[in-house]
Structure 1
Amino acid sequence: MSKAFSKESEGADDDDAPSLPSLPAGAKNYITPAGYARLRDELLDLIDNERPRIVDVVHWAASNGDRSENGDYLYGKKRLREIDRRIRFLTKRLEIAEVVDPSLHAGSDQIFFGARVTYLDDQGAERTVTIMGIDETDSRDSQVSWVSPVARALLRARVGDEVQLPTPGGLRTLEVVDVKYPPPAQKLAG
């Protein structure tokens, strides 16, 4: 059989997928309940709404005849591949996700997953970060992944502790000033 007709490797279409940081070997995929809900909602929206809508567009465009110059058909097929890639990614990540509720540590002065930490660096600059899961961090909201160097340096420290942060420019000292957790969710009486 000609090589032109052989199937390429299984992961070939994932090469242009957005690359999020991978989990360290043997590490769990920690995620907050809100982060898990956001990813699950995105997955369900892709499956229930976005994909069927694009399938309808592709079906309509294919019925118009010549597909080689049909922009709706070509764009639709490309968008379907993107959606399917994202569905596979979300499905895999949600399957291995370990939901951790940071509110269980409310009132603690020790840093665990989900903590909002204020610290001073060795140059006197005060920063506040929230330690989150890999799949839910947003640097615009001062969220850092629990596997990031700053989070790894801060984890398990307490208010008043000084920790060492290795950087390319050498060791930096961070002093923990404050630790906060979200309040426990209120249970509704049934």
Structure 2
Amino acid sequence: MKSNLITRSGHDKLVAELQHLWHEERPEVTKKVNWAASLGDRSENADYHYNKQLLRKIDRRVRYLGKRLEELKIIDFSPEQDGKVYFGAWVEIENELGEQKKLRIVGVDEIYDHHPQHISIDSPIARALLSKQVNDEVEVTTPLGKKQWYINSIFYDKSEVLGN
């Protein structure tokens, strides 16, 4: 089961996507479907079939976003989080080989944009990092075995506090 947590910026992106789909894309595609349907025989009308399929895809996404947004819980930064890894944190980690990564722990719905630094709160590395502090060592079990990571820094995007 996926978590229902989301950062404020992630929530805002989903709301913007829903608004765009409903108020811009859907009306445009609906016009195209109606135009193509007015041409008569729909059985061989590629414009009609393509746009009708696109309309179904948009409607599925609109339904999904409408339901999902009701389920999500926005997690804002809280001053008590400073110094420890919690949801929404940016974490710089390093392994014993000197490889470094900068990651942000976000909700599963925020991974859709394939941001290379975003990791899901449900991922093994995020779970291992939670509640840890700078200079802590964490062990992460991966399909390739166990890996050790050291926390170099933790910071939060404080501009997200209550939508500022």
TM normalised by structure 2 equals 0.90
Question: Which consecutive segments of 4 or more residues in structure 1 shift more than 6 A?
Answer: none
Q: Return the match for 1:108 from 63, 82, 86.
A: 82
- Structure 1 alignment gaps of length 5 or more: 1-21
1:60 matches 2:41: no
* Paired letter, 1:164: E
Residue pair 2:76, 2:161 contacting (<8 A) in 1 also: no
| 8 Å Cα contact 1:105-1:181 kept in structure 2 | no
1:24-62 Cα shifts (integer Å, max 9, x gaps) = xxxx41111111111011111111111111111111111
Give the number of the structure whose alpha-carbon radius of gyration is greater: 1
Change (3 A) 1:107 1:87: closer
Partners in 1 of 2:69 and 2:127 — Cα distance? 23
Q: Which runs of 5+ in 2 are unaligned?
A: none
Query: Structure 1: how far apart are the matches of 2:42 and 2:17?
Result: 30
Asked if structure 1 preserves the Cα contact closer than 8 Å seen for 2:88 and 2:104, the reply is yes
Distance in 2, Cα, partners of 1:48 & 1:85 = 15
Q: Which residue of 1 aligns with 2:156?
A: 181
Instruction: Classify 1:113/1:82 alpha carbon distance in 2 versus 1 (closer, same or farther; 3 Å).
Output: same
Which structure would you say has the larger RCO, counting Cα contacts within 8 Å and 6 or more residues apart?
2
**Hey, what's the Cα distance between the residues in 1 that align with 2:121 and 2:79?**
16
Q: Give the superposition deviation at 1:96.
A: 0.6
**Which whole-Å CA distance do the structure 2 matches of 1:139 and 1:161 have between them?**
28
Question: Sequence identity, in percent?
Answer: 40
- Distance in 1 between residues matched to 2:137 and 2:155, nearest whole Å: 17
What is the aligned residue count? 161
TM-score, normalised to structure 1, is 0.78
d(CA) in 1 for partners of 2:10, 2:143: 31
Residue type at the aligned position of 1:73: Y
Q: Secondary structure at the match of 1:99?
A: strand
The two structures, once aligned, show a CA RMSD in angstroms of: 1.9
The alpha-carbon distance between structure 1 residues 169 and 141, as it changes in their structure 2 partners (threshold 3 A), is closer
**Does the 8 Å CA contact 1:29/1:97 hold for their aligned counterparts?**
yes
Matches within 5 A, 1:13-162: 23=2, 28-102=3-77, 104-105=78-79, 108-137=82-111, 138-162=113-137
Structure 1 143/70 Cα, relative in aligned 2: closer, same or farther at 3 Å?
A: same
Q: CA deviation at 1:106?
A: 7.7
Aligned-partner Cα distance in 1 for 2:128–2:81: 21
